[in-house]
Structure 1
Amino acid sequence: MPSLKSIRKRITSVRSTQKITRAMKMVAGARLNRAQQRITELRPYAVKTQEVLAAITRAVRATAAAEPSAPVAAEGEVVLDRPLHPLLVERAEQRVLYVVLTSDRGLCGAFNTNINKRGEREWKSRVEQGHEVHMAVVGRKGRDYFSRRGAPNLRYLPGVWDNLRLDSAQAIGKQILEPFNKGEVDSIYLVYNEFKSAMSQNVVVERLLPVGPAPAAATTEGEGAADATEFIFEPNREALLEVLVPMYVDISILRALYESMASELGARMTAMDAATKNAKEMVQRLTLEYNRARQAAITKELMEIIGGSEALKE
């Protein structure tokens, strides 16, 4: 049985840890309120921007398909005489860029583990299909994870979480769009944790470029209704897309960053709450063990005194 001194030291150590975890839980909870408010305000705007851009893309392609002289690719897809926008050009996905959003710090449960493992699965799956994979990582935890596993074409994007705002999203967008514009990659995917609640986060793999089809909510009346939509461009289609497409990229990246930040804080608050409860239970167990050991020592001393007294009587 451990000595009373060692048990007292363990109790003191666990109580100190409990104070730290309780403080970290309170800090994460306070920051989570602000982060949750930001993502709640931004999410509808980001989703609507994606819907509008996807609807415009579908409508323009539908209009081009209706023309008798519209050229058709081998797969049956309509080939536009002029691209909608350089960032909307669709190519066969042979080279893919994954942007994985992780945190700089740990102590947030399975937050980083889930996102890193999902990113690794996507990478290995693409390699098995014969695709060339490029990786861009935000956060030191993701950098360390993928560096140890020899991820191909790994690029680290530092300093994002220190001052998270629109400028951060624009800086990331500038770096990841460079290989897309040069034709080094055919598509870009975001891998991040979508915030549901403080106790629930969902890992999402979302295609950033080229713009995918409109969400299901935008096509409830059927595909034909979406294709039949007519748009009037003012001043013209090129000028509108020149503003809308970069705005979509920046807002989509900012939304992913906000989702990831809120998810990290929620996961940290939950993990620290569990750690605080575990520390409390451990203190109770150690206190019970201490009392038992102290009582055993007292009983032993009493028996020794009684034994000595009996020996003197004899």
Structure 2
Amino acid sequence: MAGIKEIRTKIKSVQNTSKITKAMEMVAASKMRKAQDRMRAGRPYATKVREIAANLMQAHPDYHHAYMDDRGKASAVGIVLVSTDKGLCGGLNTNITRLVLNRIKEFKEDGVKVQATALGNKGLSFLTRIGVDLVSQEVQLGDTPNLERLIGAIKVQLDDFVDGKIDAVYIATNRFVNTMKQDPSFIRLLPLPSGLADPFQAGEFGQEQQADTKSQYGWDYIYEPDSKTVIDDLLMRYVEGLVYQAVAENMASEQSARMVAMKAASDNAKKIIGDLQLVYNKTRQAAITKEISEIVGGAAAV
């Protein structure tokens, strides 16, 4: 009977775990819809800022911003790793950290120095563990991206690029494709290309997107206070929009991955409970049969 009691306790434990995973699945599903809405809502803003900035730069081809300074072969780069603060979201963090680790190895093989910024607790733990030069960090991002907090961490990398300490800035994030698929992406943030292509649509600034951003018309703007100030502010807003979009994409990916992982955990719990119930019934039946045999044997002896 001790075996039956242990199996009954095991079944109860798995049932309790199943209730937790089911609740987490439902919470993740609710948060996923909100995260997807925020992600999609941010895309038109970034698209419009990119279009206006591209038109202004076409109207002033002689103007050159520091963010567009392509210095050729890089001797030092900055990496911004966007990750989650919590686990239980499948292989989401593992995939992006593996991609970043491979890129860091490639940079070091080429003699390129690497400095990093961590957005999210899991990425911070990873970068600390592998010993990368960590220049800034921001954790406990919550469920809604806060642009002020993000820019506070990213500004260190942007200032180092402008000062010439690093030659490029990359951002690593999970790009949301659909509920079942999230692509780990390694995107170049700086220097910006001349066409201001959308990196989330063309990978690492694909040429096909650059052609789409060029306007067929001439644009005449009224500037206040002057064109240089307007372009500078627009490019800064564009970079901020890319960072915000990267975090929003990762948050949508996180909730989708967590929902799928918790659903798989709940399904596995049901399967385990079914197997344990079968073992329990067989063990209980064997115990009853043994007791009956002992009673029959005792009666025959009498």
Question: TM-score when scaled to structure 2?
Answer: 0.87
Please give the root-mean-square deviation of Cα atoms over the aligned residues, in Å: 2.4
- Equivalent of residue 86 in structure 1, options 63, 66, 69: 66
Matched to 1:193, the amino acid is: N
Matches within 5 A, 1:62-211: 84-92=64-72, 93-153=74-134, 155-161=136-142, 164-211=145-192
Aligned to 1:22: 22
Match of 2:132, SS state, is coil
- Corresponding residue SS for 2:151: helix
CA–CA distance in structure 1, aligned partners of residues 123 and 167 of structure 2: 23
Aligned-residue offset at 1:156:
2.6
Whichever residue aligns with residue 189 of structure 1, its letter is Y
Q: CA deviation at 1:165?
A: 2.5
> Aligned residues: percent identity?
35
Counterpart residue number, 1:219: 211
User: In structure 2, what residue type is equivalent to 1:31?
Assistant: K
Aligned residue number for residue 248 of structure 1: 238
Matched, 1:273 2:263: yes
User: Comparing 49-58 with 297-306, which one deviates more in the overlay?
Assistant: 49-58
Once the two structures are superposed, residues 54-81 of structure 1 have per-residue CA deviations (whole angstroms, 9 ceiling, x without a partner) of: 56556755xx5xxxxxxxxxxxxxxxxx
Q: What secondary structure is seen at the aligned counterpart in 2 of 1:3? A: helix
Structure 2: distance between partners of 1:45 and 1:13? 49
| Offset, 1:96 | 0.7
Paired with 1:249 and 1:220, the residues of 2 have a C-alpha distance of: 19
Residues 111/157 of structure 1: CA separation in 2 closer, same or farther (3 Å cut): same
2:205 is aligned to none
Residues 272 and 228 of structure 1: CA distance in aligned 2, closer, same or farther (over 3 Å): closer
Which residue identity does 1:91 align to in structure 2? R
Structure 1 unmatched ranges of 5 or more: 65-82
Of 15-24 and 178-187, more deviation after overlay is shown by 178-187
4+ residue runs over 6 A deviation:
none
Greater CA radius of gyration, 1 or 2?
Answer: 1
2-structure distance, mates of 1:50, 1:227: 11
CA deviation string 1:228-257 (max 9, x = no partner): 875545334312212211110111111111
- Residue 234 in 1 paired to residue 222 in 2? yes
- Please say if 1:38 is aligned against 2:38: yes
Question: 1:2, 1:47 → 2: CA distance?
Answer: 67
**How far, CA to CA, are the matches of 1:282 and 1:185 in structure 2?**
53
Please name the residue that 1:6 is paired with.
6
TM-score when normalising by structure 1 = 0.84
Q: For 2:149 and 2:135, locate their aligned partners in 1 and report how far apart those are by CA, in whole Å.
A: 20
Measure the CA separation in 2 of the matches of 1:190 and 1:52.
23
Indicate whether 1:290 and 2:280 are aligned: yes
Q: Deviations over 1:109-158 (max 9, x none)?
A: 00110111111111111111121111111111111122222223454323
For 2:109 and 2:58, the matched residues in 1 are separated by: 31
Distance 2:93 2:232 in 1: 36
Q: Which residue of 2 aligns with 1:76?
A: none
Q: Tell me whether 150-159 or 23-32 shows the greater mean CA deviation.
A: 150-159
SS of residue matched to 1:161:
coil
Distance 2:298 2:39 in 1: 75
How far residue 274 of structure 1 moved from its aligned partner, in angstroms, is 0.5
1:214, distance to aligned residue in structure 2 (A): 4.0
Asked if 2 retains the 8 angstrom alpha-carbon contact of 1:55 and 1:214, the reply is no
Determine if contact 2:77/2:115 at 8 Å carries over to the other structure.
yes
Shift of 1:87: 2.4
